[in-house]
Structure 1
Amino acid sequence: MIAAIIFAITIILPNLILMALGFFMQKNGQASKAFIDQASSFVFNYCLPCLLFFSVINSEVDYAKQVILIMAGVAVTFILFIGSELYASRFIDKPADQGVFVQGVFRSNMAIIGLATVANAYGEQGLSIGAVYMGVVTILFNILAVITLSRVSKSAEDTWVSRTLMILKKLASNPLMIALIGAFAYKALALPPLTGVIQTTGNLLAAVALPLALICAGASIDLRSMLSPSGLSMQASIGRIVLAPLVAIGVGLAFGLTGIHMGVLFLMVAAPTAAASYVMAKAMGGNEVLAANILAFTTVFGLFGMAIGAALLRGMGLM
């Protein structure tokens, strides 16, 4: 069990240190809001796409096993979405709160926290498997987020057709989706490996992605929001930090996942609430304060939940 605890600390502690560095830089005026916004944009538009593209094209992933993992991920997402929808409709009165609560429970931060932790745990192989998993589940995340947040819209122009078009536009213009689709096409066409200047440049940009993203995440933490959660934000945080990992373990076992595939499923699902949840809630008229509180609280405390879960699963030989 000691080895399992050391494993959990090893995969989580680097993320916490980089986030703490970002928070320290922000508190000392070394990371302004403009810097955080620009750096986050740089990571999202250039570094992460390079990381995902080169991880996939350089990988030797067993796609047959990957299908089972993705099916498990889809199942977990639907269970969390439907469960939180039922809870919200029963116990939450305001439509502007309902969608934000639901999104805070089912939507995890796969692109930054999830991928970084998987990379710490399993290296390049885990990163490749996580990239493929993320590409498929991200599509589902966006569709379900628009569905749950659209209940607050009062515009006559906001119809299911307009929402569908918005989803398609978001996916078509998402740099991460473009990178993943490009990588899958490159692999399918059996093109020669990329070498030389292209590979070196891609590797350099990819190397920047996760460390800078974690620093920006730490610099964005608002202690006031994190330490003053409302009742609803605490309920959503419990759903994300406690219930979501338990559902992931249960579904993973039901699908017969073990080893790296169970590890990827658990770490991707157990990650804190996605930063995109705040942006989408604000854009679609949801309760942005509630979204910010859920994001802040789960970003810090979710990592400890991931560590505890990883230690237990490792100790039982499941990941």
Structure 2
Amino acid sequence: MIEAILFAITIVLPNLALMGLGFFMQKNGQASKAFIDQASSFVFNYCLPCLLFFSVVDSEVDYAKQLILIAAGVVVTFILFVGSELYAGRFISKPADQGVFVQGVFRSNMAIIGLATVANAYGEQGLGIGAVYMGIVTILFNILAVITLSRVSKNVHDTCINRTILIVKKLATNPLMVALVAAFAYKALSLSPITGVIHTTGDLLAAVALPLALICAGASLDLKSMLSLSGISMQASIGRIVIAPLVAITVGLSFGLTGVHMGVLFLMAAAPTAAASYVMAKAMGGNDILAANILGFTTVVGMFGMAIGAGILRGMGLM
């Protein structure tokens, strides 16, 4: 039991420490909004793509064996999406709130907090598996997010065709998706291993990705907004922090997952609400204040939920 508790603390505490550093820097004027925006853009466009690309290219993971894990992730995502859609349709009246609520429940922060926690738990092996999982499920996240947020659009040009074009454009221009597709293609073609200056440079950029991303996440926290949750934001936060991990565990067990695969599924699904949910809600006319509240609260509190769940699963020998 003590080993399970130490495992949970070990995989979550480094992330909280880096987020705490970012929050401290912001409060002391050492991390301005301009710095946070520029650093976040640097991480998203250069560092994270390098991390994902080399994690996949260098890994010895048998991707055919990840099909069950990916299938479980798709099932978890659809259960959370459909369940939150039904709940929002019945209990939330404003269309601008409904889509934001749904996205806050089903869309987790896999690229930063999910991957960072998986890396802390399982090292390079976990990163390789997590990168593949993230690549597939991210496509689904973007499609479902556009579907649920498009309900607030009043634009006559907002047709199914235009929404499809929007989804394709978002995926085709997303640096993370480009990096993952390039990595899969490189592996599929069985090209020579990347070495020398290119790999060293990629490693240096990749090493910056998760620490800087977590510092920026901490520096972006707004405690006032986080602690003044409305009824809807609290309901969405409960869906993300409590319901999503329970669904992931149930689905994982039903698919027979154990060890690293159960760990990746749980940590990716139990991660806080994705930062992209706020950007997308604002761009598509959703309630961006509600999105910011859900994001802030789940980013901090969700980390403790991940630790508790990981400790329990570890103690049971499931991850």
Structure 1-normalised TM-score? 1.00
Structure 1 stretches lacking a partner, 5+ long:
none
Once residues 65 and 148 of structure 1 are traced to their aligned partners in structure 2, the CA distance between those partners, rounded to angstroms, is 32
1:209 partner letter:
A
**Other-structure match for 1:103:** 103
**Other-structure match for 2:309:** 309
Once residues 76 and 309 of structure 2 are traced to their aligned partners in structure 1, the CA distance between those partners, rounded to angstroms, is 16
State the percentage of identical aligned residues.
85
**Other-structure match for 2:92:** 92
**Other-structure match for 2:78:** 78
**Other-structure match for 1:184:** 184
**Other-structure match for 2:152:** 152
**Other-structure match for 1:162:** 162
Map residues 255-266 of structure 1 onto 2, 5 A cutoff: 255-266=255-266
**Other-structure match for 1:7:** 7
State the superposition RMSD in angstroms: 0.4
2:93 partner letter:
D
Structure 2 stretches lacking a partner, 5+ long:
none
Shift of 1:188: 0.4
1:175 partner letter:
P
Structure 2-normalised TM-score? 1.00
Shift of 1:63: 1.6
SS at match of 2:194: coil
SS at match of 2:155: coil
2:161 partner letter:
V
Map residues 290-309 of structure 1 onto 2, 5 A cutoff: 290-309=290-309
Once residues 163 and 29 of structure 1 are traced to their aligned partners in structure 2, the CA distance between those partners, rounded to angstroms, is 41
Shift of 1:247: 0.2
CA displacement 1:114-141 (0-9 Å, x = unmatched): 0000000000000000000000000000
CA displacement 1:67-86 (0-9 Å, x = unmatched): 00000000000000000000
**Other-structure match for 1:232:** 232
Range moving further from structure 2, 62-71 or 96-105? 62-71
Once residues 156 and 181 of structure 1 are traced to their aligned partners in structure 2, the CA distance between those partners, rounded to angstroms, is 34
**Other-structure match for 1:52:** 52
Once residues 106 and 260 of structure 2 are traced to their aligned partners in structure 1, the CA distance between those partners, rounded to angstroms, is 22
Instruction: Determine if the alignment matches structure 1 residue 29 to structure 2 residue 29.
Output: yes
Once residues 201 and 162 of structure 2 are traced to their aligned partners in structure 1, the CA distance between those partners, rounded to angstroms, is 39
Shift of 1:181: 0.3
CA displacement 1:264-285 (0-9 Å, x = unmatched): 0000000000000000000000
Instruction: Determine if the alignment matches structure 1 residue 40 to structure 2 residue 40.
Output: yes
CA displacement 1:164-188 (0-9 Å, x = unmatched): 0000000000000000000000000
- Deviating above 3 A after TM superposition, structure 1's stretches of 4 or more consecutive aligned residues are none
Once residues 190 and 63 of structure 2 are traced to their aligned partners in structure 1, the CA distance between those partners, rounded to angstroms, is 15
SS at match of 1:290: helix
Instruction: Determine if the alignment matches structure 1 residue 250 to structure 2 residue 278.
Output: no
Range moving further from structure 2, 295-304 or 64-73? 64-73
Shift of 1:64: 2.6
> Number of residue pairs matched?
319
Once residues 280 and 192 of structure 1 are traced to their aligned partners in structure 2, the CA distance between those partners, rounded to angstroms, is 39
Once residues 60 and 75 of structure 1 are traced to their aligned partners in structure 2, the CA distance between those partners, rounded to angstroms, is 26
Once residues 65 and 290 of structure 2 are traced to their aligned partners in structure 1, the CA distance between those partners, rounded to angstroms, is 38
Shift of 1:65: 2.2
